[in-house]
Structure formats: structure tokens, C-alpha cells
Amino acid sequence: MANITILFVDDEEKVLKSLQRGLMDEPYNLLFATSGKEALEKLEKNEVHVIVTDMRMPEMSGLELLRIVKEKYPKIVRLVLSGYTQVTTLLTAINQGEIFKFITKPWRLEEEFKSILQQAVDYYNLRNERDELLKELAQHQRNTAAAGNK
């Protein structure tokens, strides 16, 4: 299994730093971006498996970022970490961004956050495995069909 890379996006640097130190012992590569723009740049250069973004950020909102991510990198598991808990914000995030989990600030690092990340990673892996298996199955079917044709 390849190394898992998680990208965190938040306009508040101290949030990113607390995540960095909180997750230092977790088996992930951690990437950080303070804006949507920076996040997209990081996505260009790195293979990212999970993205966790804040909602309300200047210039590009978390929702806009997630829409782009969904379109350009559909495999990436999308999560939100936000202090906004208004129903409308939640609904738009879930419905338009098709997110895996919505984590609210303040988050509980040990009891909640780490396990959600783990779930996201598992989800990524499972989906990946499923895709691999499907591919294999398709290959197998093609092979069988080819053999049948002989």
C-alpha cells in the first residue's frame, strides 16, 4: 500500500500547525495550504489521497475548492473542518461538495479527528481496492473472452 498523503487547507496557520504537531506520529504524509490557490498548486505537484478544508476562506471558499477537487481529482476523499455549523452551510457542503465527513471546530484530536482520518483513508483504500478488483475482473473477462474466441 502506497503512502497516504493528506492535504489540510485553512487560512488560519495556527490551525495547520496544531494539526501538524497533532498528527506527527500518524503514518501519513502531511501537506498544508493556507488558501484554495495554494492547495490547488500542491495538488498539481503531489499525489494526494485525502483533503481536509476549512469552509470560509478569503478569495476561494472551501466549497469552491472542493468542487474543483471533485472534478479534477475525483479519487481524493473530501472532508470539511469548519467552525460554521449553520444548517445551510452544512447542507451546501454535503450536497454540492459531496463530502465524506464534516468535522466541526473545535475538533477532538484523539477521540474523533484521528479516527475520522483513519476512516477516510480506509474509505480511499477500499474504493481503490474495489477499482483495482473491478479492473482485474474486467481484464479477466477480456482474457476469458479472448480465450473463448480462440
Partner 1 sequence: MNGEGKRDFRILIVEDDAIDARLLKRQLSQTELSITSISHTERLQEALDLLRQKNFDVVLLDMNLPDSNGLDTLKRLHKEHPKLTIINVTGGTDERIALEALASGAQDYLIKGRFDPYVLNKSIQYSIERKKTEEALRESKGKLDAMLEAISDHMTMVDRDMTIIWANSAAKKTFGNNIEGRKCYEVYRNRTERCPKETCSLNQVFETGQVNYWDTEITDKEGNKKNFHSTANVALRTDDGTPEAVIEISRDITKAKEAEQGLIEANRELEEANQEMKQMQMQLVQNEKLASIGQLAAGVAHEMNTPVGFVASNFSTLRNYVKKFQTLLNMYSTLAAEIKSGTMESRMGKMEEIEQAWQTMKMNFVCEDIEDLFTESKEGLNRVTSIIQNLRDFSRIDQAEDFDEYDLNSGIKATLIVAKNEIKYDAEIKTELCDSLLVRCNSGQVNQVFLNILVNASQAIRSMEREEKGIIEIKTYSEDKWAVCVISDNGPGIGQDKINKIFDPFYTTKPAGKGTGLGLSVSYDIIVNKHKGKLTVESEVGKGTSFIIKLPLIQRQTEQKEEILVETETNG
- Which chain residues interact with partner 1 by CB under 8 A? 12, 14-15, 17-19, 21-22, 24-25, 56, 58, 81-86, 89, 104-110, 113
Q: Which is nearer to partner 1, 105 or 125 (CB)?
A: 105
Q: Which is nearer to partner 1, 44 or 59 (CB)?
A: 59
Other CB atoms within 10 A of residue 3 CB: 9
Q: Which is nearer to partner 1, 56 or 142 (CB)?
A: 56
Distances (CA, A) of 52 to 9, 56, 62, 134: 6, 13, 9, 28
Q: Locate 41 and state its grid cell.
A: 498548486
CA–CA distance, 116 with 124 (Å, rounded to integer) = 12
Q: How far is the CB of 81 from partner 1 (least distance, A)?
A: 8
φ, ψ at 118 (rounded to 5°)? -60, -45
Q: Which is nearer to partner 1, 74 or 106 (CB)?
A: 106
